[in-house]
């Protein structure tokens, strides 16, 4: 069959317009399939967390992420055995410059400057910048990707107008940090926000607490202990890992597992229809040619293998293009959602899976036309007029 590869390649691309449209249709569908499969794996079968993330927990209201907790809970949470540090963790929102510009939207969190580096030891920043953030009330720090995108330098004056909180805050950038996921994140002081608030309903309340435990094995023990402490209070808590909190957030969308599975099935079926239609048309157009090949000594098995090889070739080309497109789109999505949702990249194993799906679907779509073409009567095929 190797000696027939040039012949197979020419036949696969004989009708260039149809072949190109088929390849691009498959590529776009496989790009979407790759993104969905990566998202599914990232959400439900994610990679092993980093050593720091494995010890980190988030304490929030039991009912929903939109409910608040008293800020006084911080001391009681910190007194829980095995808890090493606690930081306030409040989504601020707000508007930086022009809200209509997508690049001006990034994650903004209120934290405790003295505790955030203990809770998140994977944030790396020079010690003098850490000291400035802890000392200066109106200071802020930003992740390196965020600072690079906006051209911020140390000493930069930054103003953010609140939307959730009715305040306008002016900051001085005193630090630029690095973190494992390269997200676009902005931190400033909880005390500064509290001092700026004039309406009492926004004071002394918090969205969540970020804590770190001494050992990963103690994480479930600590989570149970904290929730038990507040079980009968007006503000019951739910303590969970960062991954569990992300899953509870996306649970607002409904049964995401079923939805993603349904979309994957629909995309795969679409690829199957496109490929089957192309192969069926190509086989029908070459009915007389197939008969001539039979008269030249080609066996039915060789005819079958050649037609299947043509379909596989189209599938591989479409799969490779789809995997590359998916990887580029995933990179763009990760950057766009940095700091808010850890969109997974389409890595090599997932790209290989996309190409494998393309090959399998191509085989299935070509199986029936190839079988009938290889078994058709030679005389009838020679009489075929199209």
CA–CA dist 330, 148 (Å, integer) = 20
pLDDT in the model for residue 8: 66
> 317: which 2 tokens?
């080309």
Check: CB of residue 178 under 8 Å from CB of residue 124. Answer: yes
Helix (H, G, I), strand (E, B) or coil at 10: helix
pLDDT in the model for residue 57: 94
pLDDT in the model for residue 39: 79
Helix (H, G, I), strand (E, B) or coil at 65: coil
Check: CB of residue 185 under 8 Å from CB of residue 123. Answer: no
Mean pLDDT per 10-residue segment, the chain (386 residues): 62 75 87 85 70 89 87 92 94 86 85 93 93 94 92 94 90 93 87 87 88 92 94 92 74 68 84 82 75 77 81 87 89 67 76 89 85 76 62
CA–CA dist 26, 323 (Å, integer) = 11
Could you tell me the residue ranges of all domains in the chain?
Answer: 2-47+255-383, 53-240
CA–CA dist 307, 367 (Å, integer) = 9
Strands (E), the chain: 56-61, 69-70, 83-91, 95-96, 107-111, 139-143, 157-161, 168-177, 185-189, 205-206, 208-213, 237-240
CA–CA dist 272, 364 (Å, integer) = 8
Placement of tokens 């330098």 in the chain: 153
pTM for the model stands at: 0.70
pLDDT in the model for residue 289: 73
Q: What is the DSSP string of 290-359?
A: HHHHHHTT--HHHHHHHHHHHHHHHHHHHHHHHHHHHHHHHHHHHHHTTTT--PPP--HHHHHHHHHHHH
Check: CB of residue 149 under 8 Å from CB of residue 184. Answer: yes
CA–CA dist 53, 57 (Å, integer) = 8
């Amino acid at each position: 069959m190797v000696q027939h590869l040039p012949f197979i390649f020419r036949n696969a691309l004989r009708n260039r317009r149809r072949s190109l449209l088929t390849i691009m249709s498959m590529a776009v569908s496989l790009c979407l399939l790759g993104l969905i499969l990566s998202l599914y794996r990232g959400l439900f079968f994610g990679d092993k967390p980093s050593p720091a993330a494995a010890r980190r927990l988030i304490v929030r209201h039991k009912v929903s992420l939109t409910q608040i907790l008293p800020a006084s809970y911080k001391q009681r949470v910190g007194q829980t055995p095995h808890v090493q540090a606690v930081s306030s963790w409040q989504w601020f929102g707000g508007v930086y410059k022009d809200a209509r510009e997508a690049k001006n939207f990034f994650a903004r969190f209120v934290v405790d400057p003295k505790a955030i580096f203990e809770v998140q030891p994977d944030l790396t920043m020079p010690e003098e910048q850490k000291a400035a953030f802890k000392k200066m009330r109106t200071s802020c720090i930003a992740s390196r990707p965020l600072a690079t995108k906006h051209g911020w330098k140390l000493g930069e004056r930054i103003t953010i107008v609140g939307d959730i909180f009715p305040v306008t805050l002016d900051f001085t950038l005193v630090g630029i940090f690095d973190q494992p996921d390269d997200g676009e994140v902005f931190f400033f002081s909880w005390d500064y926000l509290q001092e700026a608030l004039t309406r009492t309903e926004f004071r002394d309340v918090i969205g969540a607490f970020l804590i770190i435990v001494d050992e990963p094995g103690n994480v479930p023990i600590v989570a149970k202990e904290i929730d038990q402490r507040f079980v009968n209070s007006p503000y019951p808590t739910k303590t969970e890992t960062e991954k569990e909190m992300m899953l509870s957030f996306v649970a607002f969308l409904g049964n995401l597992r079923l939805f993603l599975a349904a979309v994957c099935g629909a995309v795969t079926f679409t690829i199957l229809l496109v490929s089957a239609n192309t192969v069926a048309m190509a086989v029908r157009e070459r009915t007389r040619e197939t008969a001539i090949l039979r008269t030249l000594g080609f066996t039915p098995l060789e005819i079958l293998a050649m037609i299947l090889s043509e379909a596989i070739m189209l599938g591989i080309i479409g799969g490779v293009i789809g995997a590359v497109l998916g990887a580029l789109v995933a990179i763009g999505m990760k950057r766009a959602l940095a700091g808010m949702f850890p969109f997974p990249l389409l890595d090599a194993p997932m790209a290989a899976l996309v190409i494998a799906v393309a090959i399998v679907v191509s085989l299935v779509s070509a199986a029936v036309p190839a079988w009938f073409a290889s078994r058709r009567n030679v005389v009838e095929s020679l009489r075929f007029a199209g």
